[in-house]
Each structure stands twice: as C-alpha cells, then as structure tokens.
C-alpha cells in the first residue's frame, strides 16, 4: 500500500502538529509551555514542533506573555495568511461575498446588487455576477483571486448531484442553466463547492452557535422562504436530489398542493407559516402593519418584533400564538420522522419573534409531537449563510493546509 504507514514517526508528528494548530485556533496565541501542557508533549518535543510549524509558514511568533511571575514567554499563533477562502450568499436581489483567512477572521466583504432578471438575459450573466462579487471581496481583502484556496457558494434550493442543475429555487433568475457549473469551474481555478443556504446556516450554528456539541439537530429557517437543514450523526443530510429539508413544499391542510407550489412558489407549509402569513394574521386581528408594498419578510419581521416587545397586548399575544401554532404544525412532521435532540430556530422571523415566539412554538409542538426536542434560538444572527459558507470552506482548506505529513 502506497503512502505513509500509520504509526510511523512522520504520521505521529503530523498528528501532533494538527493538535497544536487546532489548539492555537481555539485558544489564540499560546506559549511553548502551554502548548506542551495542552498536548501532553515534553518541552523539547513542543519546541521542535513549533520550530517545524514556523519553518513551514503555519505558525508565527506574536509577542510575549506579560503580567505573570518570571520571564515573559514567547507566544505563537497560527499564521493568518497561510490560506484564504471565500464564501458567497446568493439571493434573488444580491450576492454577498466574504473572504476569511485561515483563522476564520473575515478580512474582506462585498455586496453586489442583482436586481431584476439580468442574470437570465445577459450572456454569461450569472457567471459575471459571481466573478464581480468575488473580485469585490478579494479587493476589499487586499488579495488577488489567485490567493484563494476554495470558494463555497450558498443558494436557495440545491444543485441536484445527479444532473448538476439547480432545483427548488424557481425564484433565482439565471441560475438554472445546465452549463452554469461548468462555466464557473472554467472561470475559477480553485475548488468551487455549492450548498443550500439553509444548510450553511446550520453549519454556522454547528461550528459557532447554538448547535455546538450536538450531533443530531434540525435548523428551521424562516425568512424570505421557509426551510430546514437536517444534521444526522454530525453530517448534513441532503437527500437524493439535494432537496432534503425543502419544507416550503410540505403539504398541509388548507393550502395548495406541491404541484401548485412548484409553479407559483406559494402554497404548502410556506403559505401556512412563511413570511406572507404573518401580515395576513395581523390584518385579521386588526393590527396595523407595514405598507402592502413592504416585502413580506420585512413586514413580518416588523410585526413580530412589535408583538414580542409587548406580548401582554391581547392582539399581539394572539399574533404570536397563531404564528407559533402554524410553525409548530409543519415542524411536528419533521419531529415525527427524525426525532432530533435539538431544533434551532433561525432566520429573520425567528429572530424578530425572539424568546416569546420560541416559547410558544415549544409549547405548541409539545401538543402536536410525541417527542420533546429542545428548541433554541440561533446564535449566529449576523450573516449566518455567509458565515456558514466560510466555515465550510475553512474546514476542508485546513485539512489540506495543516497536513504536514504530505
């Protein structure tokens, strides 16, 4: 068998190197002595390890420790410039691009407005939009496109692994060309990966937020659209066509069937509990809301923010209760099938409803489902899709860059 034999000194050194690098990412700058204690390595071995990582450009000296008895100790940190990755969060109205260094720090960001249907009508429209957004973020970071190790793009819907075409996102103009992935691969020499936007929000919560240390959880997203990410045994479950978690299509009593949802983008669970439902509930209760010209998600968020700030008002309390019941109705089907230990509530509507809405959904779900998963609000509330894209790109890039056994 070709390659490095497990258990050889080279492999053991690589394992120690990776353990030290992970500790530096987790804790920040550490001294040689502290790294030795955390890894269980002797001082001479820790010194050799740090010298090796410094020579390879993965670790740099970064000042000395102060405020402790005895001489100041040299501190070491992961070299932030060892690698850079990009993440893109795509919606019908804009592409948000970000650049992170190997430590996870965001070093550049750019937002490109994509109004109308330009991506469909212009030759190479989507490809040009992606490159323009990416180059804007790269420029903001003071880098070149060639400095990137990997790009992860998050979109509504999912690219079917069997056909390479985008599914479940009829509202994303220009992204359904059968040649799109080949065009982007030709334009971008680094690895480019694609992921559902809600799945990326789950990655962010798993790495940085409310789902840390949880192997089995569901993230329910409610903003412009409603959907879920399913994490089973620590891994995203995407389904045969990438459509696992497309809850907007879930049939519920009193709403149009899935074949009508596919044509109109409205119906099913989306119609029952999505952003468009909240203003209708408010109107039926006599609550003055945002202008009819206000986008559904913003209008719904404004209404739920007001209601959660004053839940003692009878009409506000009823708005929260009806919204919670509708959300719990669809969520109960997910719980019946998956029996998750945790459900993370994310997206603009969940954030707006806050703890008041979360508690009501928990109570409603207890009446509808046999199991009792814990419900929590998402903790990654600033650009969760972009953050998840960067975290996904960083995971694979660190595995490559930190592999000193090669």
Strand, coil or helix: 98: strand
The dihedral through the CA atoms of 169, 172, 174, 175 has a sign that is: negative
**Which among 193, 203, 244, 188 is positioned nearest to 380, based on CA atoms?**
203
Average pLDDT over residues 337-355: 96
pLDDT of residue 1: 43
The 3-state DSSP class for residue 257 equals coil
By mean pLDDT, which of 1-10, 56-65, 157-166 is the weakest? 1-10
C-alpha–C-alpha distance, residues 248 and 169, integer Å: 11
- Parallel, antiparallel, or unpaired for β 84-91 and 148-155? parallel
Give the tens place of pLDDT for each residue, 48-69.
999 999 999 999 999 887 656 5
Q: Residue 294 — very low, low, confident or very high, per pLDDT cuts 50/70/90?
A: low
In the numeric block, the tokens 């708005």 are attached to: 319
What pTM value is reported for the model? 0.91
pLDDT score at 255: 79
Q: Which domains, ranges and CATH numbers included, belong to the chain?
A: 9-78 (1.10.10.10), 82-200+386-401 (3.30.420.40), 210-379 (3.30.420.40)
What dihedral do alpha carbons 388, 390, 392, 394 form, nearest 10°?
-150
> pLDDT above 90 covers what percent of the chain?
75
The residues facing 84 across adjacent strands are 101, 148
- Between CA 118 and CA 136 the distance in angstroms is 19
- What is the radius of gyration, based on Cα positions, of the chain? 24
Pick the closest to residue 158 from 200, 196, 197 (CA basis).
196
Does 101 score more than 50 pLDDT?
A: yes
Average pLDDT over residues 208-228: 95
**Cβ 404 vs Cβ 13: under 8 Å:** yes
Cβ pair 25, 103 in contact under 8 A: yes
Quote the tokens at residue 57: 């450009």
| Burial class (CB within 10 angstroms; exposed 0-12, middle 13-18, buried 19+) of 45 | middle
Give the confidence band of 405 by pLDDT, cuts at 50, 70, 90: confident
Angle formed by the axes of helices 277-284 and 314-338, nearest 10°? 140
- Residue 264: predicted pLDDT: 53
What is the distance of C-alpha 260 from the center of its chain?
29
Asked if the model's pLDDT at residue 118 lies above 50, the reply is no
pLDDT at position 121 is 45
Q: What is the mean pLDDT of the chain?
A: 90
Question: Given the DSSP bridges, would you call strands 30-31 and 217-222 parallel, antiparallel or unpaired?
Answer: unpaired
With 0-12 CB in 10 A as exposed, 13-18 as middle and 19+ as buried, what is 337? exposed
Q: Which helix (H) or strand (E) holds 384?
A: helix 384-401
Confidence of residue 254 (pLDDT cuts 50, 70, 90): confident
Whether pLDDT at 122 is above 80: no
User: Angle 9-27/43-55 helices, nearest 10 degrees?
Assistant: 80
Residue 260 has pLDDT above 90, yes or no: no
């Amino acid at each position: 068998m070709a390659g490095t034999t497990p258990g050889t000194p080279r492999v053991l050194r690589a394992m120690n190197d990776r353990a030290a690098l992970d500790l530096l990412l987790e804790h920040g700058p550490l001294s040689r002595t502290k790294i030795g204690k955390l890894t269980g390595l002797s001082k001479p071995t820790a010194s050799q390890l740090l010298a090796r990582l410094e020579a390879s450009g993965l670790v740099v000296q970064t000042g000395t420790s102060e405020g402790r008895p005895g001489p100041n100790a040299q501190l070491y940190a992961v070299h932030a410039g060892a690698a850079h990755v990009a993440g893109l969060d795509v919606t019908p109205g804009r592409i948000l691009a970000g650049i992170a260094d190997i430590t996870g720090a965001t070093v550049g960001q750019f937002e490109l407005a994509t109004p109308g249907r330009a991506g469909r009508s212009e030759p190479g429209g989507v490809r040009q939009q992606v490159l323009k957004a990416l180059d804007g973020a790269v420029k903001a970071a003071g880098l070149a496109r060639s400095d990137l190790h990997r790009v992860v793009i998050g979109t509504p819907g999912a690219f079917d692994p069997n056909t390479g075409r985008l599914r479940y996102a009829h509202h994303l103009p220009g992204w359904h060309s059968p040649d799109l992935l080949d065009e982007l691969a030709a334009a971008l020499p680094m690895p480019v990966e694609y992921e559902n936007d809600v799945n990326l929000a789950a990655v962010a919560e798993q790495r940085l937020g409310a789902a840390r240390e949880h192997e089995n959880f569901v993230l329910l997203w409610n903003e412009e659209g409603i959907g879920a990410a399913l994490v089973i045994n620590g891994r995203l479950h995407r389904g045969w066509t990438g459509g696992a978690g497309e809850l907007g299509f879930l049939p519920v009593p009193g709403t149009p069937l899935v074949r009508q949802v596919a044509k109109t983008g409205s119906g099913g669970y989306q119609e029952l509990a999505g952003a468009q439902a909240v203003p209708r509930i408010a109107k039926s209760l006599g609550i003055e809301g945002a202008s009819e010209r206000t986008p559904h998600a913003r209008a719904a968020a404004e209404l739920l923010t007001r209601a959660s700030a004053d839940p003692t008002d009878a009409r506000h309390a009823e708005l929260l209760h009806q919204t919670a019941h509708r959300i719990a109705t669809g969520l109960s089907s997910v719980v019946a099938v998956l029996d998750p230990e945790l459900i993370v509530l994310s997206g603009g509507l969940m954030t707006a409803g806050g703890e008041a809405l979360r508690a009501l959904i928990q109570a409603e779900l207890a009446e509808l489902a046999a199991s009792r998963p814990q419900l929590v609000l998402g903790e990654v509330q600033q650009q969760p899709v972009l953050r998840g894209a960067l975290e996904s790109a960083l995971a694979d890039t660190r595995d490559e860059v930190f592999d000193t056994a090669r």
